[in-house]
Amino acid sequence: MAKQFLDDDFMLQNDAARTLYHEYAADMPIFDYHCHLPPVQVAENKQFRNLTEIWLYGDHYKWRAMRANGVDERYCTGDAPDWDKFAAWAETVPKTIGNPLYHWTHMEMKDPFGISGKLLNPRTAKSIYEDINTKLASGDEFRARGIMEHFNVKAVCTTDDPADSLEHHASVAGDSSFTAKMYPAFRPDKSMAVDTGEAWIEYLARLGEAASMSIDSFGDLLSALDRRHEFFHSMGGRLSDHALTLPVYAPASDAELEAIFKKAKSGGEVSPGEADKFRTALMLHFGRMNAKRGWVMQLHMNCLRNNNTRLFRKLGPDTGLDGMADGQIAVPLRNFLDALDMEEMLPKTILYTLNPRDNELLASIGGSFQDGSTPGKIQLGTAWWFNDQKEGMLSQMSALANIGLLSRFVGMITDSRSFLSYPRHDYFRRILCNMVGTWVEEGEAPRDMDLLGGMIADISYNNARNYFGMEID
């Protein structure tokens, strides 16, 4: 019997997969431990004025597809009216078949908006737009918090600079009527940008103000970052997050680091080699702080950012201009992890790569630093960004299963700015269940649904809840 698009057994190709999904995965809560949701929108329980605002604003995945479909920038990031932007997206959607955007679009229409059996295209665009706009205006169910509660989100970890006030996190934490937790994640990338001239000097002033101290030396910078790390800890934060085109490991003496600091602070030009030494020292400092406070360190690697200079100058960062890098990461990553491990200060760590060729590499290096102190202490991070699709997820999970322990995997993230991205967790769970179910049907795993179902439930939610050690439920 032919399968129907997006039916209840979507992506589940055998009986074992269907059992694992429907009985063990479908109803698990969500712990979205890495996302880019604006904390202010959670704190204010934002009501979105229309589908364009909640679906297209800030969504560089969609913008890239629209540009590829010949849509003018005015309808992506520009000043076109919201309906015109949505109409341009509706023109693009039929062209995205084969791209996960086609699946995500219709999954998000179905849940939470209840639109099934109707495909988005230019003929249906107006009715879908008006239907969802009516729902968005109808009450709390479709405001920011209502959507999170609908998807049974237990916790989200946003992405926050050390200088951020975290006032919105405090507001949410003080509201007992909201069932989800919102925690900050410490993202100190700007503190390492010692080679960006005036921008770095201005950032030091902002960080110093947040830390209630003057930053006049490299030692002061370490102290200010530690103060803010401690503040994040007091706000429930238990993760740091680091965007690294490539990991670096270039040790330097205290005197060298102070000299680099003073040169940069006075407006001098910092060489690439000096910048690598500075970043190495700070990354080691972040690792030690994380170990001291029992945090998790996330390393996002091999992303080449802002590739299109012309559009970057016009649009700025995070607008869909990034891609995979192919730098050599094995030796500097090993040296960095080893340096912390030699001090017995290597924290729980998640290794993400934007280049899927690195999956086995990271799984094998990470496995060298498992030490029995924590199940899955060093994680091969979930398929990230451009790998957040069926083949990418299968590649990442297969590498982990072959080289490490899939059963200890902490699972999926949205890595998204959209409150409508939670169906991606369902997408991931269906792919996971189908992969394991196929092992069963092919005789590669036992038909023990309690054993395998327990593993599926753990990967869907339980492992992350236990690994991060946050107050959730």
Identify the pLDDT of residue 116: 92
What would the 3-class secondary structure string for 176-243 be?
CCCCCEEECCECCHHHHCCCCCHHHHHHHHHHHHHHCCCCCCHHHHHHHHHHHHHHHHHCCCCEEEEE
Question: In the predicted model, what is the mean pLDDT of residues 452-466?
Answer: 98
- By the 8 A CB rule, do 392 and 356 touch? yes
Identify the pLDDT of residue 1: 62
Residue 107 has pLDDT above 70, yes or no: yes
Identify the pLDDT of residue 472: 84
- By the 8 A CB rule, do 268 and 244 touch? no
Of the chain, the percentage scoring pLDDT greater than 70 comes to 100
Distance CA 208, CA 225 (A): 9
* pTM for the structure as a whole: 0.97
CA distances in angstroms from 122 to 109, 119, 244, 378, listed in the order given: 15, 10, 40, 47
Token pair belonging to 40: 């202010």
Identify the pLDDT of residue 164: 98
Residues in the chain: 473
Identify the pLDDT of residue 471: 84
Phi, psi values for residue 460, rounded to 5°: -70, -35
Question: In the predicted model, what is the mean pLDDT of residues 162-176?
Answer: 97
Q: Name the 3-class secondary structure at 33.
A: coil
Q: Name the 3-class secondary structure at 263.
A: helix
Token pair belonging to 25: 């995965």
pLDDT tens figures, 7-50? 999 999 999 999 999 999 999 999 999 999 999 999 999 999 99
Distance CA 473, CA 467 (A): 14
Distance CA 469, CA 376 (A): 13
Residue 126 has pLDDT above 90, yes or no: yes
CA dihedral 200, 205, 210, 216 (to 10 degrees): 100
| Average predicted confidence (pLDDT) for the chain | 97
Among residues 135, 335, 369, which one has the least CA distance to residue 246?
335
Q: Which of 63-67, 174-178, 215-219 has the lowest mean pLDDT?
A: 174-178
pLDDT tens figures, 43-91? 999 999 999 999 999 999 999 999 999 999 999 999 999 999 999 999 9
Distance CA 19, CA 10 (A): 13
Identify the pLDDT of residue 2: 72
Buried residues in 159-175 as b, exposed as e (16+ CB within 10 A) = bbbbbbebebbebbbee
- By the 8 A CB rule, do 367 and 404 touch? yes
Among residues 297, 286, 71, 61, which one has the least CA distance to residue 190?
286
Among residues 47, 73, 48, which one has the least CA distance to residue 62?
73
User: HSE of 106 in the Cβ direction (CA atoms, 13 Å)?
Assistant: 19
Question: In the predicted model, what is the mean pLDDT of residues 411-422?
Answer: 96
Identify the pLDDT of residue 205: 97
Question: In the predicted model, what is the mean pLDDT of residues 336-362?
Answer: 98
Identify the pLDDT of residue 3: 83
Residue 406 pLDDT class (50, 70, 90 cuts): very high
